[in-house]
């Protein structure tokens, strides 16, 4: 059984092809600059050299066509025919309150997803475009939708209801939903396996730090709170998103600068966060280099970022209760010992003791590493979160009719003998 996973953004599509019987990754790749000039596709495949090809991608339909062509290419592909793909798993950013589990798509469900587009217009729109394109090119196989928000629908009402007119929740669905669900799910299950403790007994704070940043408070294996809200804009400081701010600022600035709601939203999503503080779009390496060279605003951005994360850890420790562990993941969370050290320094009073040598020894390709001190009451890990594996697991479980929801799914990565999947070579 070959399972293709798709993660579709406005101008990028990430894909991975699993051989599920052998539990290997046959190929993975990315289509860049979809609907822009200069689009190209890169692919890493088992037994093949890494390959990059300039392609025409005016829309998601063409991008999916290029993916299937690349997977079946006689020289660089891994399949003889696209019909060898058994099923497709699609990441969907927002499932609202309706979708608390992964589902096989049909016309009615796709209509429901379209109805939710207003809750995450920057994310659900390209998700839908990718689903529609894949249904066109691969029409005779199951397509499964996996929702970012589903993992967080276990939050209690007092955690997800905002202190706003209650009618807004009733009429418009204004509430906290949260995102990065598959990532937080994976981290919670891997921590449980690594510490030989049932997931249903683990109390955790999981921290996903990339261009988007979210934290999750997990009690007994279930999400009880998360930093992102109705949209991915709320929460910690991010690459270009502001995270938490005084809501009064928006009205004040809109009046002062005569900005429309759409223009203000664009500033908060695309020109704030690290980019707003530094005054320019820079990648993490440039940010760290600038800070080391004494750039005041680069140093300030790192201090604000780590301070906000520390505050969330303290708040979530209070929300969760006695804490078993903290887990870092994703781009910055996995690769930057410096960022992890900044975040955790000063939390010794809460029982969070960092082993600096272990933390600094974590390599970028380390899949799982314990970085807490031997005498730390709270265990801290760096774990590579495999969201695409969660997608594939849900697809396989649904096809075998063994899936009910994520809370009772028998994921392979919950087992003590699980080895993180690498590409088959």
Sequence-distant (≥ 6) Cβ neighbours of residue 229 within 8 angstroms: 162, 176, 177, 178, 235
Nearest Cα neighbor of 420 from 19, 5, 24 is: 24
Instruction: Give residue for tokens 């927002």.
Output: 94
Instruction: Give residue for tokens 């969907």.
Output: 92
Distances 384 to 334, 368, 389, 412 between C-alpha atoms, Å: 7, 6, 11, 15
Instruction: Give residue for tokens 């009772």.
Output: 408
Nearest Cα neighbor of 209 from 343, 64, 70 is: 343
Question: Could you give the residue numbers annotated as active site?
Answer: 148
* Helix intervals (H) in 75-139: 107-115, 121-137
Nearest Cα neighbor of 358 from 347, 369, 366 is: 369
CA distance 56 to 35: 9
Nearest Cα neighbor of 319 from 222, 182, 190, 197 is: 222
CA distance 243 to 57: 32
- The token duo for 82 is 């696209």
SS3 389: helix
């Amino acid at each position: 059984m070959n399972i293709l996973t798709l993660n579709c953004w406005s101008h990028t599509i990430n894909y991975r092809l699993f051989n599920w019987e052998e539990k290997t990754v046959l190929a993975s790749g990315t289509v860049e600059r979809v609907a822009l000039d200069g689009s190209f596709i890169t692919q890493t495949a088992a037994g093949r050299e890494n390959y990059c090809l300039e392609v025409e991608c005016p829309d998601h339909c063409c991008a999916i066509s290029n993916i299937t062509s690349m997977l079946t290419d006689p020289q660089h592909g891994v399949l003889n025919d696209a019909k060898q793909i058994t099923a497709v798993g699609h990441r969907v950013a927002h499932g609202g309150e309706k979708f608390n589990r992964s589902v096989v798509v049909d016309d009615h469900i796709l209509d429901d997803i379209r109805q939710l587009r207003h809750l995450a217009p920057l994310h659900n729109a390209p998700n839908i475009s990718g689903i529609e394109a894949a249904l066109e090119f691969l029409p005779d196989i199951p397509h499964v939708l996996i929702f970012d928000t589903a993992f967080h629908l276990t939050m209690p009402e007092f955690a997800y209801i905002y202190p706003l007119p209650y009618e807004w929740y009733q009429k418009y669905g204004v509430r906290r939903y949260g995102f990065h669900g598959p990532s937080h799910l994976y981290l919670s299950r891997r921590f449980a396996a690594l510490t030989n403790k049932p997931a249903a007994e683990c109390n955790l704070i999981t921290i996903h730090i990339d261009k988007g940043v979210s934290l999750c408070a997990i009690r007994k294996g279930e999400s009880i709170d998360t930093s992102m809200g109705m949209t991915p804009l709320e929460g910690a400081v991010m690459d270009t998103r502001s995270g938490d701010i005084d809501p009064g600022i928006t009205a004040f600035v809109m009046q002062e600068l005569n900005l429309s709601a759409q223009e203000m939203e664009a500033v908060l999503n695309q020109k704030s966060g690290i980019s707003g503080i530094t005054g320019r779009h820079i990648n993490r390496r440039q940010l760290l280099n600038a800070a080391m060279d004494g750039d005041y605003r680069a140093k300030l951005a790192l201090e604000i970022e780590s301070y906000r994360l520390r505050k969330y850890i303290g708040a979530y420790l209070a929300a969760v209760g006695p804490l078993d562990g903290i887990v870092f993941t994703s781009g910055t969370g996995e690769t930057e010992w410096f960022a992890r050290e900044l975040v955790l320094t000063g939390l010794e009073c809460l029982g969070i003791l960092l082993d600096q040598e272990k933390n600094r020894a974590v390599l970028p390709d380390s899949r799982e590493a314990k970085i807490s001190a031997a005498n730390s009451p709270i265990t801290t890990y760096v774990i590579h979160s495999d969201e695409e594996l969660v997608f594939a697991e849900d697809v396989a479980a649904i096809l075998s009719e063994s899936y009910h929801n994520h809370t009772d799914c028998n994921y392979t990565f919950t087992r003590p003998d699980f080895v993180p999947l690498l590409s088959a070579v």
